[in-house]
Amino acid sequence: MTDAKPIGPKKLFIKTYGCQMNVYDSERMAESLGATGYVPTDTVEDADMVLINTCHIREKASEKLFSDLGRLRPAKEANPNLKVGVAGCVAQAEGEEIMRRMPLVDLVVGPQSYHRLPEMEARVQGGERAIDTEFPPEDKFDHLPERKAMRGPTAFLTVQEGCDKFCAFCVVPYTRGAEVSRPPERLLTEARNLASRGVRELTLLGQNVNAYRADGYGLARLIRALAKVEGIDRLRYMTSHPNDMEDDLIAAHGDCPELMPYLHLPVQSGSDRILKAMNRKHTADDYLRVLDRVRAARPDILLTSDFIVGFPGETDEDFEATLSLIRKVGYGMAYSFKYSARPGTPAAEKPNVDSAVADARLQEIQALLSAQQRAGQEAMVGREVDVLYEKAGRLPGQMVGKSQHLHAVHVTDPTGKVGELARVRVTAAVTNSLAAERLA
Ligand code: 5AD
Ligand code: SF4
């Protein structure tokens, strides 16, 4: 008798932290390893390979990673053939250190090298430890297999990666590298391919997506071209920088019906002094003027943003300016974060705001943003919206999907089907979602 595992396909467990781009990357990594015979599993105990796709944007990313890795020790002891890999931005920033501190790690791969995973996996199977955190000249997407697995009517499409903006607090320009845009022809092919598998809504991803520029296309022209793809009914994009909201993109919000009335446009702070220290290269007023133009093009647009509180040097007055900007705009939703010093960024050299003060500001900003979100949801009650069904709800006869404004909506619709775009009437606003009934 041996306790060897039954022969069968190798199993891959992926844990994903961070942004949508990491979600997209994890899918592409699963597909890439799928081509070498891996199938997904959702338990570590069952896995032949565990990949942790990390995020470095805010604090404790590496602590979290090291504690995740520590927790894998028993699994590795139980199954010495288990391979452990680290991907994503922490891999990029701290790959060598991870290898040194964690002997159980077999593989470290940075975000630009995912197409090399099959070859790295083969080396790992041969007993080597493999690390690749280069920014290779070739485009990883040219070397990743075509997308096959489709789980629903919505999909992410990475159109741009990297960032040249160098906000003083941010690691992205270091971990993801310079801005690179994928050629429009490739994106159109990928979109057609996704549409043929039932995808109706695409969210175009990029760290600085509205800086998209390739082969004479900017983001607006790309959106207009994707809108013509048969089967694609809805488009969104994120994340954008205010300085790249060009006229044609704003115009597209007014005249491209496939472009959904939703814009995530981070401002980070409402204080000009802090914006300058953050190296944002715009004032609060510049930002508000961009929003005015977007709202003129699409009056019902839902606006969202990111805010950082407790950036070095932020006074009560600066924070008040942020609250005042939020009151002026009226956000449908927004994220707010306590500043965390990221090693290697210019702001990390500056003295921190007192932690308790930053915590109090975070609570205050979150209370204001939640109240605005709630008011926005309540204002939807009684209105008709279109919902793209993503899955069946937990209650019988219920479907769940997103409205044009990206509100999650639970619809009473006993005959609804996944992938259907349904006209519904909103009947109530519940925590974080809307309830609705199907219209004939
Ligand atoms: N500290 C806190 N928040 C940060 N973000 C980026 N870097 C930091 C940091 N060092 C936030 C910004 C950005 C979002 C993705 O994460 O608000 O828009
Ligand atoms: Fe980071 Fe966004 Fe600033 Fe780029 S624009 S440096 S990704 S916060």
Q: Which ligand is nearest to the CA of 58?
A: 1
Q: Which ligand is nearest to the CA of 175?
A: 2
Nearest CA to ligand 2 atom 3: 167
Nearest CA to ligand 1 atom 14: 306
What CATH number did the domain enclosing 104 receive?
3.40.50.12160
Where does a domain end: 132, 148, 176? 132
Residue 86 shares a structural domain with residue 230: no
Residue 155 shares a structural domain with residue 299: yes
Residue 261 falls inside a structural domain: yes
Mutate to test the pocket of ligand 2, among 174, 241, 280 (most ligand atoms within 8 A of CB): 241
Find out whether 436 and 410 touch, Cβ atoms under 8 Å: yes
Find residue 109's DSSP bridge partners: 87, 132
Cα 70 to ligand 1 centroid, rounded to whole Å: 27
pLDDT at residue 151, rounded to an integer = 65
pLDDT at residue 328, rounded to an integer = 98
Residue 213 shares a structural domain with residue 311: yes
Residue 4 falls inside a structural domain: no
Among 54, 133, 58, residue whose Cα is nearest residue 96:
133
Cα 430 to ligand 2 centroid, rounded to whole Å: 33
Among 411, 434, 433, residue whose Cα is nearest residue 423:
411
Mutate to test the pocket of ligand 1, among 57, 174, 205 (most ligand atoms within 8 A of CB): 57
pTM summary value: 0.89
Q: Determine the distance from the C-alpha atom of residue 83 to the mean position of all C-alpha atoms in its chain, rounded to a whole number.
A: 27
Q: How far apart are the first and last CA of the chain?
A: 63
Cα 340 to ligand 1 centroid, rounded to whole Å: 8
Residue 163 shares a structural domain with residue 228: yes
Residue 280 shares a structural domain with residue 407: no
Atom of ligand 1 nearest to the CA of 345: 10
Q: Which ligand is nearest to the CA of 208?
A: 2
Residue 2 falls inside a structural domain: no
Find out whether 318 and 278 touch, Cβ atoms under 8 Å: no
What CATH number did the domain enclosing 216 receive?
3.80.30.20
Residue 230 shares a structural domain with residue 252: yes
Mutate to test the pocket of ligand 2, among 172, 237, 265 (most ligand atoms within 8 A of CB): 172
pLDDT at residue 7, rounded to an integer = 66
The domain in which residue 106 lies consists of: 10-132
Nearest CA to ligand 1 atom 7: 170
Find out whether 143 and 59 touch, Cβ atoms under 8 Å: no
Tokens of 210: 């509205």
Residue 73 falls inside a structural domain: yes
Cα 170 to ligand 2 centroid, rounded to whole Å: 6
Where does a domain end: 378, 396, 424? 378
Residue 5 falls inside a structural domain: no
Number of domains in the chain: 3
Residue 164 shares a structural domain with residue 112: no
Q: Which ligand is nearest to the CA of 347?
A: 1
Residue 226 falls inside a structural domain: yes
Residue 213 falls inside a structural domain: yes
Find residue 434's DSSP bridge partners: 409, 429
Burial string for 335-374 (b: 16+ CB within 10 Å, else e) reads ebbbbbebeebbbeeeebbeeebbeebbeebeebbeebbe
Cα 338 to ligand 1 centroid, rounded to whole Å: 8
pLDDT at residue 349, rounded to an integer = 93
Residue 239 shares a structural domain with residue 116: no
pLDDT at residue 1, rounded to an integer = 42
Residue 58 shares a structural domain with residue 191: no
Nearest CA to ligand 1 atom 18: 306
CA dist 208 and 212 (Å) reads 8
Residue 43 shares a structural domain with residue 170: no
Residue 407 shares a structural domain with residue 314: no
Where does a domain end: 359, 378, 397? 378
Residue 185 shares a structural domain with residue 223: yes
* Residue pLDDT tens, the chain, 440 long: 444 555 678 999 999 998 888 888 998 899 889 888 899 999 999 999 999 999 888 877 788 899 999 999 999 999 989 999 999 999 998 899 999 999 999 999 999 888 899 999 999 999 999 999 888 777 777 777 776 655 689 999 999 999 999 999 999 999 889 999 999 999 999 999 999 999 999 999 999 999 999 999 999 999 999 999 999 999 999 999 999 999 999 999 999 999 999 999 999 999 999 999 999 999 999 999 999 999 999 999 999 999 999 999 999 999 999 999 999 999 999 999 999 999 899 999 999 999 999 999 999 999 999 999 999 999 999 999 999 999 999 999 999 999 999 999 999 999 999 999 999 999 999 988 999 999 97
Residue 3 falls inside a structural domain: no
CA dist 328 and 75 (Å) reads 52
Atom of ligand 1 nearest to the CA of 338: 2
Ligand 1 — pocket residues by CB below 6 A? Answer: 57-58, 169-170, 266, 268, 306, 308, 337, 339-340, 342
pLDDT at residue 389, rounded to an integer = 97
Cα 360 to ligand 1 centroid, rounded to whole Å: 18
Ligand 2 — pocket residues by CB below 6 A? Answer: 163, 165-167, 170, 172-173, 207-208, 241
